[in-house]
Amino acid sequence: MKPIEIEELLKATRHDKPKIRKSALLDLCPCRVKANNVKIWDRLLAMRNDEDASVRSIVLHNLCDGSPKERKEEIVNAVEELAQDQDRKLRRRARNALAVYRKTGVINSE
């Protein structure tokens, strides 16, 4: 993915409409970007507090799909926060990811 595309997607993560933020997040998934981009990880971590549960759900997926080892502590902390989320389904998924992490030491489980 080209740097200009990443910048456009990062900008879209700030859009007013959740649908556009979700679309951008899907394109910023580590399995698609295939690079460790600090700006992407910073934005993903910030978006764990997004107002929309469906956006936070994609954030959880992205955090647990190929996160960099050097940011493991930050990622685990974010997933722990999501494990307390008001959305029941998201909370359950985050707790499942944490259970796997506590058993295996691996947070990249989704």
* pLDDT reported for residue 74: 97
Do residues 38 and 45 lie in contact, with contact meaning Cβ atoms separated by under 8 Å? no
What residues of the chain score a pLDDT lower than 50? none
103-107 long-range contacts (CB < 8 A, ≥24 apart) are 107/63, 107/64, 107/67, 107/72, 107/75, 107/76, 107/79
* pLDDT reported for residue 27: 96
What the chain holds in terms of domains, given with CATH numbers, is 3-104 (1.25.10.10)
Q: What is the pTM of this model?
A: 0.93
* pLDDT reported for residue 66: 84
* pLDDT reported for residue 15: 98
* pLDDT reported for residue 86: 98
Distance set, CA 26 to CA 23, 32, 56, 59, 109 (Å): 5, 8, 12, 9, 17
Instruction: Encode pLDDT of 1-21 as tens digits.
Output: 788 899 999 999 999 999 999
